[in-house]
Amino acid sequence: MTPPMRRRRAYATRARRASTGALVRAFSSSGAGGVLVPASLPDLPYDYSALEPAISADIMKLHHSKHHQTYVTNFNATMEKVLDAQAKGDTAAAIALQGAVKFNGGGHVNHSIFWQNLCPVKDFTPPEGALLSAINDEFGSLDAFQTKFAATAAGVQGSGWGWLGYDKATGRLAITTTANQDPCVTTGLVPLLGVDVWEHAYYLQYKNVRPDYLKAVWDVVNWKDVATKLEHAKA
Ligand SMILES: [Fe+2]
């Protein structure tokens, strides 16, 4: 295991221990039984530098170890408050926390999908099989899909996400966006591919030129993961 990977794993383990203790304490103090398992920062399946030159190691390290970790930490802290409110029978207080649950929980869910959707340049393979057929059926060609996706994601006002999703009702693919950290499922689509268009995802390398980032990201899309997600969505 490389030193950076070891450090990340140790960091994630400490975070898990810290947040687990907090949640178990909160849950026990409510007088209810059982244990709520907190969210934790997932390890990346590649090194921080593995997505270069498309996404720099500096961005990946900051994005994963700081930004994503903060969503996890804040989500667990918010859930602790929700449990406390529920234990006290304070429904209004629990409801008031739902915005923070959605934002921080969404940040955790979205980034977890994003990391899976990416792969080192050396492992890149283009889409094929059922996924490629679905893309061609819906958008005409892979190029046409990528052009439409990039234009749609570039048009997100402020911070948010671009998505390729699967509509279970129609059996079709669709491109959509969400604001802030709203998860893709809030649009009714199953997320297959999510691209983070918050400035923290590209500013260190691409400054304010979001379209350049959206052009480069195709070099590190893990189409095998997208295909697996489509397979599961159809099941
Ligand atoms: Fe992000």
Please give the structure tokens belonging to residue 121: 């340049």
Q: Is 167 annotated as a binding residue?
A: no
Report how far residue 122's alpha carbon sits from residue 50's, in angstroms, rounded to the nearest whole number. 9
Query: What's the 88 CA to ligand 1 centre distance in angstroms?
Result: 34
Q: What does the pLDDT look like over 144-197, one tens digit per residue?
A: 999 999 999 999 999 999 999 999 999 999 999 999 999 999 999 999 999 999
Q: Are 161 and 117 in contact (CB under 8 A)?
A: no
What pTM was estimated for this model as a whole? 0.86
The number of CA neighbours under 13 Å toward the Cβ of 183 is: 20
The verdict on whether residue 63 carries a ligand-binding annotation is yes
Q: How much distance in Å is there from the Cα of 67 to the middle of ligand 1? A: 6
> Is 196 within any annotated ligand binding site?
yes
Dist. CA 34–CA 15, nearest whole Å: 21
How far is the centre of ligand 1, averaged over its atoms, from the C-alpha of 182 (Å)?
12
- Residue 185's pLDDT is what? 96
- The predicted pLDDT at position 230 comes to 98
Quick one: pLDDT at residue 121?
93
> What domains are there in the chain, each with its CATH number?
3-116 (1.10.287.990), 123-234 (3.55.40.20)
> At residue 21, does pLDDT exceed 70?
no
* CA end-to-end span of the chain: 36
| Whether the predicted pLDDT of 16 surpasses 70 | no
What is the secondary structure of 130-171 as a DSSP string? HHHHHHHHHHSSHHHHHHHHHHHHHT--SSEEEEEEEETTTT
Phi-psi domain of 176 (left: phi exceeds 0; alpha: psi -120 through 50; beta: other): beta
Q: Is 198 helix (H, G, I), strand (E, B) or coil?
A: coil
